[in-house]
């Protein structure tokens, strides 16, 4: 890798342009071979960066949306409440009220 490639990689890292850092060199070669303009090169490079960011965003949102541990814990507590008879819950609720009012 030459010095210019290293500077470009460093600038891309600072700007958080991960896809640009990896895709610019091969894309520049394809653009030169196709005799395309610099504007075409820039447009394709920015489209690649945008696509990579959207894919990362989708992956993060998918990972965050799948919360089986939290859902399982909530459903266990709900099922425990359903299993308890009303006469078991009522005294506990009254005790909590008494403790709360005596603290005021």
Is 78 domain-assigned? no
Q: Determine if the pTM surpasses 0.85.
A: no
Our CA angle for 25, 27, 30, nearest 5°, is 115
Contact (CB, 8 A) for 66 and 33: no
Average confidence (pLDDT) over 13-38: 93
3-state class of 60 per DSSP?
Answer: helix
Is 73 domain-assigned? no
Whether 101 has a pLDDT exceeding 80, the answer reads no
* Domain containing residue 50: 3-65
Residues 6 or more apart in contact with residue 8 via CB below 8 angstroms: 21, 24
Residue 102 is predicted with a pLDDT of 59
Is 55 domain-assigned? yes
Which among 59, 58, 23 has a CA at the least distance from the CA of 43? 23
The count of structural domains within the chain is: 1
């Amino acid at each position: 890798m030459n010095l210019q490639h290293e500077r470009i990689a460093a600038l891309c890292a600072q700007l958080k342009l991960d896809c640009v850092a990896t895709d610019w060199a091969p894309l520049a070669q394809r653009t030169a071979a196709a005799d395309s303009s610099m504007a075409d090169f820039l447009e394709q490079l920015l489209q690649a960066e945008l696509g990579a960011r959207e894919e990362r965003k989708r992956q993060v949102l998918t990972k965050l949306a799948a919360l089986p541990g939290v859902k399982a814990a909530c459903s266990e507590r709900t099922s425990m409440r359903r299993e308890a008879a009303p006469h078991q819950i009522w005294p506990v609720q009254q005790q909590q009220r008494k403790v709360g009012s005596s603290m005021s």
